[in-house]
Each structure stands twice: as structure tokens, then as C-alpha cells.
């Protein structure tokens, strides 16, 4: 899941022609508002190799109840992948599409950001420890970066007199 979310995130927010200085500026700005994630993590995320996405998620758990919780996780993350894809499409519409494109992307990314919490809740309610807590934390960090970048693309609201 970590590798998939990394690639989807990179496809969402980093154009192929992004210069280092713009990337560094964006990560500095992001880190100022998200110190728990930080500048170094942001930079590493953008510089991650696409090859890491080719590996699939590992299988965890045993027993019927664990399989049921993992099935919920699969459904939740499947929805999150769809939301990330829609956010990418919204951002691809770009500035020419008007204010709505970035706002739509922010909405989709906000929804995707709920996936890790939903998955952890499924295990927590059963009194079980999630075998994918690390991946959920990673996804949440990546989604938070994507959301912050997309939100920075939305123009400030117009104030009328």
C-alpha cells in the first residue's frame, strides 16, 4: 500500500518538470504547517523512485475475523485509490479549468485521508492490533502532503464589499 500511495501521490502533485528549488520551497512551506511530518520526509517523498510502486502489499492476518477486517481495509483503500485518481484528474484540468478543479481535488484528497483511520478503527473496535499500522501511518503522511499541496493551489476566497 505504501508503494502504491507513494506513486499516486507523486502523480498527483509533482509535474515532471518540477525544479528542485520549487520542490524545496513547497516542502519548506509544508513542513512549517506540519512539523510532525517535516521537510526531510516531504523531500524524500518527492524523490522516491517509481520502481517502489511495482511491489504489491504484503498479506497479513489469519483467521476469519482478521480476514474480514482486511477485506474492509481492501475496500476502504480501493475507494481511496479511486479518490486519488479523481484528484489527479481534477488537478490535471489545471488552472484553465477555473477554481473548481483544485477545490474538487481537495475534496477528493480529504476523503482519501480518512482511509487510514477507518482501517485502524476496524481493528481497534475488535480489540486487535492492525498488522498494517505502519502502512496506514505512511499513507496518512502522504495524503496529508498531497492535500496541503492541492490546497495551496486553490485561490483564496474572494471578499466582497
Which pLDDT score, from 0 to 100, does residue 59 have? 44
The structural domains of the chain, ordered by start, are: 2-152 (1.20.140)
Closest by CA to 91, choosing from 80, 82, 100, is 100
> Is 2:139 a contact under the CB 8 Å cutoff?
yes
Quick: pLDDT tens for 82-119: 999 999 898 888 755 555 788 899 999 999 999 999 88
Q: Is residue 58 scored above 50 in pLDDT?
A: no
Percent of the chain whose predicted confidence (pLDDT) is above 70: 71
Confidence of residue 1 (pLDDT cuts 50, 70, 90): low
Amino acid at each position: 500500500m505504501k508503494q502504491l500511495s507513494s506513486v499516486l501521490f507523486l502523480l498527483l502533485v509533482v509535474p515532471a518538470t518540477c525544479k528542485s528549488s520549487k520542490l524545496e520551497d513547497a516542502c519548506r512551506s509544508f513542513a512549517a504547517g506540519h512539523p510532525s511530518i517535516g521537510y526531510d520526509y516531504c523531500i524524500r517523498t518527492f524523490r522516491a523512485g517509481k520502481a517502489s510502486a511495482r511491489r504489491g502489499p504484503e498479506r497479513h492476518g489469519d483467521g476469519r475475523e482478521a480476514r474480514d477486517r482486511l477485506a474492509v481495509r481492501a475496500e476502504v483503500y480501493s475507494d481511496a485509490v479511486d479518490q486519488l485518481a479523481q484528484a489527479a484528474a481534477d488537478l490535471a484540468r489545471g488552472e484553465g479549468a477555473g477554481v473548481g478543479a483544485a477545490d474538487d481535488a481537495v475534496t477528493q484528497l480529504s476523503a482519501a485521508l480518512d482511509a487510514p483511520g477507518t482501517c485502524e478503527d476496524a481493528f481497534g473496535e475488535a480489540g486487535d492490533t492492525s498488522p498494517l499500522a505502519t502502512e496506514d501511518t505512511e499513507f496518512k503522511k502522504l495524503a496529508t502532503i498531497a492535500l496541503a499541496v492541492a490546497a495551496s493551489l486553490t485561490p483564496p476566497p474572494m471578499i466582497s464589499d
